[in-house]
Each structure stands twice: as C-alpha cells, then as structure tokens.
Chain A
Amino acid sequence: GNSVTQMEGPVTLSEEAFLTINCTYTATGYPSLFWYVQYPGEGLQLLLKATKADDKGSNKGFEATYRKETTSFHLEKGSVQVSDSAVYFCALSGNTGFQKLVFGTGTRLLVSP
C-alpha cells in the first residue's frame, strides 16, 4: 500500500538558518504529494502541493520538488523564522477517483531567535 516516511524531529534551528525536512514515499502509479503544516493549537493547513513528477510546489518561502526517480518530496526553506515553528506533515494521495490522504508521522520544527 501507499506510505510516507519523513524524518523524525524535533528539528531545532536558529532564525535565518536553512531548513530541509526529508520525505520519501512508496506508492503505485503517480500520486499527488503534499506538505501540510500545523501551528500550535490549530488544525492542519495545506502548505504546498505537486501533482506530477518534476513539479515544484512553493508557498511562503517553502519549496518542494516531486522527484519520481528518488521517490522524494523534501521540504526546504532558505531562511526560517521563529513563526515557522510548527509540525510539518508530508502526505500523498492517488490521482484517480476518490483517494484518501496518507500522512507521514510529522516533523516538529523549533526555531529560536
């Protein structure tokens, strides 16, 4: 079945540091890939997505590229801020019919001033 593996946290960085959160997946066919973010005390919200190989999703300075050859969708940001402290979830879904989202276990990011 489909599955998502992401790096364990917490990831602790200083403000303005470079961020990478690794995500790899196992899926049949050509899934869509997502990053969701959960700020403290809130539900999840979509951060970015990519629906086919080599697509790059981007939002709020975050980027991720859909790499089919390495089955990866790593999240990156060039300069993190304290306000980026949150839990980040990588997820995938199939692209045909009604497909459920499959989530990774989440990675907590802590950014200090």
Chain B
Amino acid sequence: DVKVTQSSRYLVKRTGEKVFLECVQDMDHENMFWYRQDPGLGLRLIYFSYDVKMKEKGDIPEGYSVSREKKERFSLILESASTNQTSMYLCASTPTGLAGTNEQFFGPGTRLTVL
C-alpha cells in the first residue's frame, strides 16, 4: 500500500514562528503536493514538486516556501506564521505515470493552529 505520512497530526505555534511541516512517501513517487483545506473553500494547492529540487507555485503560495532535497520528502515552510495560516494542511503524491489520471495519494493531514 502507498503510504504518505506527515510529521504531526496537530501543531500549535505562535505568530511569527518559523514552522516546518514534513511529508514522506514510501512509493518512489516523482510528484508531491501541499494543499491547505479550509471549510467552504475545499482544497487549495500551495506548492508542488515534480522532481528533487524542483518546485512550482500553486494557487496560494504567498507566505509559504517548500523544500525537496530527497525524492521521498517534501517540506512545507511557513517563514513567519500568521493567524490566517491556521488550517488543515494535506500532503499528497503521485507517480509520473499516473499524472494524467491524477490519482493522488494523501497523508492524514496536519491541523495547524497559529495563536
């Protein structure tokens, strides 16, 4: 089974802190994604990566950055957390061969609260 894991299920941080959210997949997938999920807004793409050290902005990249140093790991970084970044963050991955059919495999999510 494909397994996508995220470093924390729940996280509480203070305004201005630097926050790292980690995602690891164990199926050698080329493509990885970070979304945020908010009520009434569905899932919105923050960043994605189609190869090691490659990254592309999604629809809402402002206030975020990412890092992909190894194929299995994709990190989301909040340089200076703000209260409007309180949300559920979901990581996903998919192999290149399935990109056209877009069956993405999701982690369980990290619920981040910024106080």
Contacts and interface: CB of A to CB of B under 8 A. Distances in A.
A93 B102 contact: yes
A35 B96 CA distance: 20
Chain A: interface size category: 20 to 34
Grouping DSSP codes into helix (H, G, I), strand (E, B) and loop, the A interface class, with mixed when no group exceeds half, is loop
A82 interface: no
Chain B: interface size category: 20 to 34
A42 to B, nearest CB: 6
Given A42-B109, A105-B42, 20 more contacts: A34-B103, A41-B108, A42-B108, A43-B4, A43-B108, A44-B92, A45-B106, A49-B101, A49-B103, A89-B42, A89-B43, A97-B100, A98-B31, A98-B50, A98-B99, A100-B48, A101-B43, A101-B104, A104-B42, A106-B43
Interface of A: 32, 34, 41-46, 49, 51, 89, 91, 93, 95-101, 103-106
24 contacts: A32-B100, A32-B102, A34-B102, A41-B108, A42-B108, A43-B90, A43-B106, A43-B109, A44-B104, A44-B106, A45-B105, A45-B106, A46-B103, A49-B103, A89-B42, A89-B43, A93-B100, A93-B102, A95-B100, A97-B100, A99-B99, A99-B102, A100-B45, A100-B58
